Every structure is written in C-alpha cells, then in structure tokens.
C-alpha cells in the first residue's frame, strides 16, 4: 500500500450519490477535492445505477482521479446486521462456523451474501463472546465493483455505512467516539432517517426507517431507543452522545420526551465543516456536510469490516502479523549483529582516549626519565666513592707517613701494599737516611732493604725497601692531657 495516495469514497445511500476524495500522506488524511452530492432521479434502481455511473465518471475525469482506489459505503438499508452470542473460537475457525449460521440469522440464503463480523466488549465471566455480524448481497457489491471499474477506479473495499459514519467522527476528533463511549449519529435521508449507534469505537446498530421529513427526529430517537435494548454490557446504563442536524434542535423538532439517555453534541457541524474545507475555502454548508458524511467516512475507513473481499481480510491480518514478526526478527538480528560492532567501537574509543592521555603525559615522562638518569649517575659516583674509601684508610695513612719521613729530594717510582706489608722503590740523594726515618717510632716495623743500593749516573741512589706498617691508635683527649 502506497503511503501517498488518493482514495475516493462512494455513498449511494437514499436516492443520492455522495462522492468524496481523501488524500493520504504524512500525518492526518485531508480532503483532496470538494465533495459532491447528486440527487438520483430514477425510480428504479437500475436507472439510478446508470445515473450514478455517469456522475462518478464525471467526478473522476474532472478531478484527475483515474486509477485511484475507491471504497464503497454500503447503505444501511442494504446491510443485514445482527448482534449474536457465539462460542469463543479461533479466527481461522470462526468464519466457517458463522457461515453455517447465516441461513438461520438472515432472511437471505447464505450463498447470496458476503459477511464479516466484529467482536463487542462483553461482560466479565461470560462464556460466549458478543459479535456484530454484518452481511450484504454479493450481487449488489459486484454490480458496484463493475460500475467503479468502468468509471476508471478500482474498488478496494466495501464497508457498511455505520462504520463509515464512525470513522468520520473519529477523523474529526470527536472525543466521545475516540474514547469508546456510547454515541449515535442521526441523519436525514431521502424519505427517511438513519441511526448508527456506536460503542467501544465500533458500530453495533445501523438502520434506516422511512418517515416524512417532519417526523425525522422522533423516528431517529425511536431507532436509538431500539438500539439500546440489547446494547453492549459496557454501555447498558450510559448516556448517548447524539450527533444530529443542528436545525432539529434550533427549529424545536428535537423532542424532549424520551431523550433522557440522549445528549445532543454541540458544535459537531462546525468542527466537521472546518475539517472538510479546502485551503482558501469557507467552511462547508452543514446541510451539504450531512449529505457527504458517508462518502467521506468510506474514504477514511481502513479498518472496518470489508464485505468486498472478507476472506482476504483475515489473510491481510495474518500477513500483517507475519510481516511484523519478520520485522521484529530482522530487528533482533540486526541488534545481535550490531552488538559486537558496538563493543568494538566502544573499545576503539577507549583505546583512542588512552592514547590521547598517554600522549599528553609524554613530556612529563621524559622529564621523569631525565631525572632518573641523573639520579642513577649520582648513585654510581657515590658507590665509587664508597668503594674507594672502604678498606683504603691504611693506604692513605701510609702515604701520609711516607710523605713526612722521606728525606728531601726522594722520589718514589713504585709503591706496593698488600695488607700491611709495604714495598718501596725509588731514588734518593741519601738512601741510608730512609731506613732510620721509617723505623724511628714503630710505625713501620721489620724495615729492611730488599736489594742493594745502587748509585745512578745522576748521583741519585736507587733503593728498594720492605716494611710492615703498624699504625698507632689515635690519642684520646685524656692521654693528651697527661703529657707534660
């Protein structure tokens, strides 16, 4: 079904033909062209059908509607309607079961009828379900299907007039109908009056009664009273909101007696006329509005009981359910497939965020690494100094003692120390003076020449001396005070 399309509504109720075209698209459907209502002058139905074909073809050609879908509002006098209790069955079993009951319910053979039904709200605890069973002559519907086809349209549905009335009120935003309250639409027909009673958003009564024009309000209320005798349980004691021509009340033709449960709704005609007006046009005349009410409702009615192809309605519902199931399954599959991708995207976003944080910390890290390198270098130097100091105090003392004791002009060419043993190699102007200088105070013991003294060409003596260093403990302050 196309989203953007135009649907033509056809209402042949009474001895007139009402036509309306509704444009569908985004948002609320709107009236596409001005509706028309033409009086059919023929005395016989066959002549009126020929007149209707001519009027319909002219309407289609004048407004460029060829090829559009059409919907027929079956007049209330052509519809058989019954409210029946029925055992609760599955939808696929309900149609065969109801077809067996048609001969008993309606005065026309079932083979000559097309039927459909709607479920009414029932009382809690009731075993049976309440159904509104509607039927119409298959021959009548087929004649209209052929007529519509010759006029350049294709008949897409045929709905009872009552459902067309209900849909028009819902489209106009009438709260009582939308809320499922008890409502009634009363309108004058050619030589009669029509009453449609609605509850729970669905018509449960639709009938026409012949009467003179001056008796229309009284007969309409009589029909309403008859409809309430076997009303749905949810509205048994409810007050009916009545949508009726304003001139009935204005001219005093709406009787007060017997209207305890009928409450006329004010402003309905003004709201409907404004809704039907095209851009730049004034609101429609109320009398004209009542004549095209059924045609407008037929064009708007998409969920009413279709009598053109009732068998296909269940199939459409099953197809819709099947399509919805497939769509839900596809959505679930897409969600299942997109979940890993969403996890990967979130993970990548987290990684990118961490990379950005790391990049912002790199200068600080470089400074810390530089500081750690400096600390490492200092620690190495400190360790070297500690190592140089550890166990080498004696060597420093030896060097100090030798510096103080060796004669002037003496040069050391070698100094070896193993534990406390010291071996000296050097040159001196007088090597014999070194021996007593080392052994004078006991700091060096076992002093001896390791080799003979030899004189060099420069008149210096080469010597080699061995000794054992014996450091004297440092003097305490008390010992220093005892010295004279």
165 vs 147: CA distance, rounded Å: 23
Write the CB contacts of 257 (distance below 8 Å, at least 6 apart in sequence): none
Last residue of a domain, one of 292, 308, 324: 308
Residues 290 and 318 occupy one common structural domain = no
98 and 14 belong to one structural domain: yes
Write out pLDDT tens, residues 448-480: 888 888 888 787 888 888 888 777 654 555 555
User: Do residues 300 and 320 both lie within one domain?
Assistant: no
Total structural domains within the chain: 3
Instruction: Please report, for the chain, how many H helices and E strands are present, in that order.
Output: 15, 18
Rounded to whole angstroms, how far apart are CA atoms 96 and 90?
11
Q: Which residues pair with 146 in a beta bridge?
A: none
> Dihedral of CA 252/258/260/261: which sign?
negative
Pairing of strands 411-418, 421-428: antiparallel
Same domain, 63 and 115: yes
Q: 361 vs 350, 351, 352, 353, CA distance in Å?
A: 17, 15, 14, 13
- At residue 222, φ and ψ (nearest 5 deg) are -65, -45
Examine the domain organization and report whether 113 and 155 are in the same domain: yes
CATH number of the domain at 450, please: 3.30.1360.100
User: Which domain does 431 fall in, by range?
Assistant: 393-482
- pLDDT bin (cut points 50, 70, 90) of residue 260 is low
Burial class (CB in 10 A: 0-12, 13-18, 19+), 484: exposed
Q: How far apart are CA 206 and CA 304, in angstroms?
A: 14
The reported pLDDT for the residue numbered 258 is: 47
> Of the candidates 350, 365, 390, which is a domain's last residue?
390
* 195-253 tens-digit pLDDT: 999 988 889 999 999 999 888 888 988 898 888 887 787 777 778 889 998 888 776 66
- Do both 109 and 142 map to the same domain? yes
372-414 residue pLDDT tens:
999 988 988 888 777 666 555 677 777 787 777 788 788 888 8
Shared-domain flag, residues 140 and 172: yes
Q: Answer with the one of 337, 363, 390 that is the final residue of a domain.
A: 390
Say whether both 402 and 384 belong to one domain. no
Please indicate, yes or no, whether residues 245 and 340 belong to a single structural domain of this protein.
Answer: no
* Integer Cα distance of 158 and 147 in angstroms: 13
Range from 101-110, 116-125, 146-155, 259-268 carrying the lowest mean pLDDT: 116-125
- Under DSSP, is residue 150 helix (H, G, I), strand (E, B) or coil? helix
How many beta carbons lie within 10 A of that of residue 42, not counting itself? 13
CATH code of 227's domain: 3.30.420.380
Question: Does the pLDDT of residue 257 top 60, yes or no?
Answer: no
In this predicted structure, what is the pLDDT of residue 391?
Answer: 55
Half-sphere exposure of 351 (CA within 13 A, CB side): 6
Q: How far apart are CA 119 and CA 235, in angstroms?
A: 15
Do 331 and 375 reside in the same domain of the chain?
yes
Do 37 and 13 share a structural domain? yes
User: Is 191 found in the same domain as 104?
Assistant: yes
Q: Give CA–CA dist 375/388, Å, rounded.
A: 20
């Amino acid at each position: 079904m196309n989203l953007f399309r135009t649907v033509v509504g056809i209402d042949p109720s009474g001895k007139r033909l009402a036509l309306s075209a509704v444009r569908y698209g985004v948002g609320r459907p709107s009236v596409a062209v001005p509706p028309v209502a033409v009086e059919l002058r023929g005395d016989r139905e066959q002549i009126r059908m020929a007149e209707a074909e001519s009027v319909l073809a002219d309407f289609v050609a004048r407004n460029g509607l060829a090829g559009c879908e059409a919907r027929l509002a079956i007049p209330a006098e052509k519809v058989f309607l019954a409210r029946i209790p029925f055992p609760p069955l599955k939808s696929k079993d309900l149609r065969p079961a109801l077809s067996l009951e048609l001969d008993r319910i309606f005065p026309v053979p079932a083979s000559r009828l097309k039927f459909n039904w709607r479920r009414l709200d029932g009382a809690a605890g009731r075993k049976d379900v309440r159904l509104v069973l509607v039927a119409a002559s298959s021959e009548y519907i087929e004649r209209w299907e052929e007529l519509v086809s010759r006029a350049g349209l294709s008949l897409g549905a045929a709905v009872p007039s009552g459902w067309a009335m209900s849909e028009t009120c819902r489209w106009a935003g009438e709260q009582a109908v939308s809320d499922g309250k008890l409502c009634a639409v009363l309108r004058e027909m050619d030589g009669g009056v029509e009453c449609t009673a609605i509850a729970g958003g669905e018509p449960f009564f639709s009938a026409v009664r012949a009467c003179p024009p001056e008796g229309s309000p009284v007969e309409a209320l009589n029909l309403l009273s008859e409809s309430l005798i076997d009303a749905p349980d949810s509205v048994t004691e409810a007050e009916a909101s009545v949508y009726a021509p304003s001139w009935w009340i204005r001219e005093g033709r709406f009787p007060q007696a017997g209207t305890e449960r009928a409450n006329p709704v004010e402003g309905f005609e003004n709201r409907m006329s404004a809704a039907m007006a095209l851009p730049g046009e004034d609101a429609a005349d109320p009398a004209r509005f009542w004549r095209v009410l059924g045609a407008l409702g037929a064009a708007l009615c998409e969920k009413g009981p279709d009598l053109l192809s009732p068998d296909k309605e269940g199939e459409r519902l099953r197809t819709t359910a099947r399509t919805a199931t497939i769509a839900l399954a596809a959505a679930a599959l897409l969600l299942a497939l997109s979940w890993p991708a969403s996890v990967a995207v979130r993970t990548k976003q987290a990684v990118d965020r961490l990379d950005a944080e790391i990049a912002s910390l790199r200068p600080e890290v470089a400074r810390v690494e530089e500081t750690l390198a400096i600390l490492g270098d200092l620690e190495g130097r400190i360790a070297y100094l500690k190592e140089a100091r550890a166990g080498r105090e004696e060597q420093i003392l030896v060097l100090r003692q030798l510096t103080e004791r060796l004669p002037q002009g003496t040069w050391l060419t070698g100094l070896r120390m193993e534990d406390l043993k010291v071996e000296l190699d050097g040159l001196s102007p007088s090597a014999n003076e070194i021996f007593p200088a080392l052994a004078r105070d006991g700091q060096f013991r076992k002093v001896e020449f390791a080799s003979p003294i030899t004189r060099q060409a420069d008149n210096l003596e080469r010597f080699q001396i061995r000794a054992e260093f014996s450091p004297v403990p440092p003097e305490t302050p008390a010992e220093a005070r005892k010295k004279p």
